[in-house]
Amino acid sequence: MKHNSLRDLRSQINRIDQELLKLLDARMEVVNSVALTKQKEGLPVFDSQRESEVINQLKQYTDKNLSSEDITSIFQVIMDRSKMYQIETILKSNNENLEVPDKVAIVGLGLMGGSLALALQKYQPKIQVSFCDILDRSKDVSIPQVSLEKALNSSWVILALPSVKIAELLQEKSNLFKKDQVVLDLGSTKRRICETAEKFLTAGTQFVGCHPMVGKTNGGFEQADSNLFFGQSFIAVPQSNCSPKNIDFLKNIVESIGASLTITTADQHDKMTAFTSHLPHLLSRAFYSSLPNPEQLIPYAAGSLNDLCRVAEANSDMVADIFETNHDYIHEAFQMLLKSATNILDSSGQVDRYLLKEISLEVKEFRQQINKTKEKCNAISHEKEPSKRGAA
């Protein structure tokens, strides 16, 4: 009897859920129109005042089963997804007249290559995307798979492999690359890769070392996300022979998936990412390996411990490649860290309270600046006319 009663109750919930989905879908239809109107009028996607008004108005309908906190949390999720939907709509609209390559072949379909393939399919459907997975992992994807030879014969090739593998491929398969071809890589370090490309690629091959400044704790195509690059920086290190037209094409591709292009040198890239990405990987692993009896520490674990250990879950092979190919700048960054730590707390137990307070204030401002660079809403929605960059 209880089983039947529970089944009936669950059937009621299922019917209600179906009605909710219909209403949410109807809401997204209106959101789509809102996005196009904002684009036409040059208005930002995010309107904090409007968002607060909606939440406060909904709170007035608080009932016995839903508190104001419940309403806020539920509709915050709905509005966050609505904002993302608006951004996607505006991106697709802006991309219609962008000049981009006709075909792109991606070698490697893990997190980075898979996310880029999905992003291009979603935001640049006029680009024919194919892939080759040299690690021979079966993938149930709708992206055409080609041989390595055919992939490397494409007019645009993107190498989405670990850094050491990229350098090896550029050297061992250098005879398969051709003149006037554009070759990109998505490796985490740039000096070894760019030096290898300079040395072994056919004269006239246009190589651009790239690094999207984004990732996830777990890799693999299963974690691929078409919106992974949104609001992120996409670093590029073009060789001197890269044509302005192809740089514009690259910029159009990057902006069409919601990222922003930053052009630099291989040396500058490796020096900066030693601080922003590579040193944190070293610290998180060194920190965990220094813990005495980690299991016994669990009852004492706070959020800061969990945050620090999270970075150590990243793919060990990828991290080993990073350490191997950027060890000098990582070591330099580590020495600066040790000096800074000693300034804060020396061996005698002296604490520089003024320095601690100063750092706390600076960090707050620094994080705000980082977050501002991720907010692409205003930049995208203020483009009243789709960009037409790319014509040479």
Contact (Cβ atoms closer than 8 angstroms) between residue 266 and residue 190? yes
pLDDT of residue 94: 84
Q: Which amino acid is at 144?
A: P
**Three-state SS annotation for the chain:** CHHHHHHHHHHHHHHHHHHHHHHHHHHHHHHHHHHHHHHHHCCCCCCHHHHHHHHHHHHCCCCCCCCHHHHHHHHHHHHHHHHHHHHHHHHHHHHCCCCCCCEEEEECCCHHHHHHHHHHHHHCCCCEEEEECCCCCCCCCCCCECCHHHHCCCCEEEECCCHHHHHHHHHHCHHHCCCCCEEEECCCCCHHHHHHHHHHCCCCCEEEEEEECCCCCCCCHHHCCCCCCCCCEEEEEECCCCCHHHHHHHHHHHHHCCCEEEECCHHHHHHHHHHHHHHHHHHHHHHHHCCCCHHHHHHHCCHHHHHHHHHCCCCHHHHHHHHHHCHHHHHHHHHHHHHHHHHHECCCCCECHHHHHHHHHHHHHHHHHHHHHHCCHHHHHCCCCCCCCCCC
Q: Which residue, among 200, 197, 220, 171, has the nearest Cα to 318 in the 3D structure?
A: 220
- Strand-pairing partners, residue 206, are 182
84 pLDDT tier (thresholds 50, 70, 90): confident
**Intervals of CATH 1.20.59.10 along the chain:** 2-95
- Superfamily of the domain at 271-374: 6-phosphogluconate dehydrogenase C-terminal like domain (1.10.3660.10)
Mind listing the pLDDT tens digit for each residue in 15-57?
A: 999 999 999 999 999 999 999 998 888 888 888 888 889 888 8
**Intervals of CATH 3.40.50.720 along the chain:** 103-264
Who has greater pLDDT, 90 or 198?
198
Contact (Cβ atoms closer than 8 angstroms) between residue 123 and residue 176? no
For residue 233, what are the CA distances in angstroms to 185, 244, 263?
15, 20, 10
CB-count burial class (<10 Å; 0-12, 13-18, 19+) for 30: exposed
**Intervals of CATH 1.10.3660.10 along the chain:** 271-374
Q: Is the pLDDT of residue 185 over 90?
A: yes
CATH class of 2-95: mainly alpha
- Superfamily of the domain at 103-264: NAD(P)-binding Rossmann-like Domain (3.40.50.720)
- Region 313-338: what's the mean pLDDT? 95
pLDDT > 70: percent of the chain: 92
Task: Show the tokens assigned to 146.
Answer: 């080609």
384 pLDDT tier (thresholds 50, 70, 90): very low
* Pairwise CA distance, residues 14 & 221, whole Å: 32
- Dihedral sign for Cα atoms in the order 250, 255, 258, 262: positive
Locus of tokens 């299963």: 222
Residue 203 neighbours by CB under 8 Å, 6+ apart: 179
- Region 131-157: what's the mean pLDDT? 80
